[in-house]
């Protein structure tokens, strides 16, 4: 269940000039400023420019001396690199920014887009699965992707080998969106170099990471929340019991998306994750008809959101030691932490921001916090 502190980020004016985009990029690229912190800082200070100006003082009060925000020169260099590549920055709230993605708790403040940006306007379905997919799995992924594409859906996946690659290829003509874990210019894995170029020419590649950034293991879960956030539903074709595809499925559930899975043989480890999802309530997929039926089901009205409580960043609150004592390496929901502390939420959120600036805690998608490792 979503925390009352994790409502959709409030509307804010996206940058409309080059200089404003530089400031926006400087803030999101500054050390220890993730999406949640970005929106909280802008909400607190009224604009990205004011938040950026206040950032060194916030860091100093959090015990981080001599904090320097991301430089203007580095931001300009990234924007120029994107322009040379043919990529465009899509800022939260600006035309072209995916509306579905803007509804999740921690949307990327900025996305790099390379290719046909109009694909963000289409209804989308995520299709993910095993990298070491079976022949049957890749055929099923291709069949579903082709049929989804023929019905006007943009097929979203992660440009990995196996199921992802099969889905992208089958939906290439109709429209496919690849969400990358590294920079939008980075080819990963190398074997998908040709597909990488085809999607830029015929589909769309998206990334929230800086141009030139090589993907690392920690980037993939963040990438997965974008796949599910873009999608009306996520279909898992093959997945082991512990796989990135299950992370995407979990993100989808937390974002209020439908989760569907293709069943597999109990003896095939590549189907263990899908079978677990079905056991736990995911919709079983035998073909396109099951996806169509799931998408046409009436959905209950969402619970009304409580207003976002953008507490002052420097408000006094519980001692950092109390918060750190309740956290561990396993992520904990922020609202559960607040209940455990038994204090007003407005006193906790600025302390979490300070601890994040100090590098003592990390935020993960879905409004979870954990001790930094």
Mean pLDDT estimate for the chain? 87
DSSP 8-state assignment for residue 305: P
Residue 64 banded pLDDT, cuts 50, 70, 90: confident
Residue 362 banded pLDDT, cuts 50, 70, 90: confident
Cβ atoms of residues 206 and 134 within 8 Å: no
- Dihedral angle at the C-alpha atoms of 191, 195, 201, 203, nearest 10 degrees? -130
E strands, 94-171, are 110-115, 124-128, 154-157
List pLDDT tens digits, range 285-325: 999 999 999 998 765 444 344 334 333 333 344 456 777 76
The pLDDT of residue 303 is 39
Cβ atoms of residues 110 and 102 within 8 Å: no
| Dist CA 240 CA 44 (whole Å) | 43
pTM, two decimals, is 0.81
Three-state secondary-structure class, residue 177 = strand
């Amino acid at each position: 269940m979503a925390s009352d502190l994790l409502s959709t980020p409030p509307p804010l004016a996206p940058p409309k000039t080059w200089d404003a985009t530089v400031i926006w990029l400087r803030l999101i690229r500054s050390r220890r400023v993730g999406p949640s912190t970005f929106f909280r800082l802008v909400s607190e200070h009224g604009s990205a420019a004011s938040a950026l100006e206040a950032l060194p003082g916030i860091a100093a009060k959090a015990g981080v001396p001599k904090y320097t925000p991301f430089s203007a020169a580095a931001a300009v260099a990234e924007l120029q690199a994107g322009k040379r590549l043919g990529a465009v920055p899509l800022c939260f709230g600006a035309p072209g920014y995916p509306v579905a993605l803007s509804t999740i708790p921690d949307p990327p403040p900025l996305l790099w887009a390379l290719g046909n940006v109009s694909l963000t306007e289409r209804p989308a379905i995520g299709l993910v699965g095993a990298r070491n997919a079976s022949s049957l799995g890749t055929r099923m992924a291709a069949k579903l992707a082709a049929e989804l594409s023929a019905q006007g859906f943009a097929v979203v996946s992660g440009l990995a080998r196996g199921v992802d690659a099969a889905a992208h290829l089958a939906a290439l003509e109709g429209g496919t969106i690849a969400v990358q874990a590294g920079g939008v210019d980075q080819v990963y894995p190398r074997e998908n170099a040709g597909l990488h170029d085809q999607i830029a020419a015929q589909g769309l590649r998206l990334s929230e990471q800086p141009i030139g950034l090589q993907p690392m293991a920690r980037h993939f879960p963040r990438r997965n929340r974008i796949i599910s956030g873009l999608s009306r539903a996520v279909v898992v074709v093959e997945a082991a019991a512990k796989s990135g595809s299950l992370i995407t499925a979990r993100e989808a559930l937390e974002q209020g998306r439908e989760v569907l899975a293709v069943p597999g043989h109990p003896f095939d480890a590549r189907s263990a994750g899908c079978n677990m999802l079905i056991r736990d309530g995911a919709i079983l997929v035998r073909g396109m008809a099951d996806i169509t039926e799931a998408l046409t089901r009436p959905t209950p009205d969402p619970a009304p959101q409580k207003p976002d409580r953008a507490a002052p960043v420097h408000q006094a609150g519980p001692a950092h030691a109390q918060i750190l004592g309740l956290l561990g390496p396993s992520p904990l929901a922020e609202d559960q932490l607040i209940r455990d502390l038994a204090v007003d939420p407005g006193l906790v959120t600025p302390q979490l921001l300070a601890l994040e600036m100090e590098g003592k805690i990390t935020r993960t998608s879905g409004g979870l916090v954990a001790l930094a490792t």
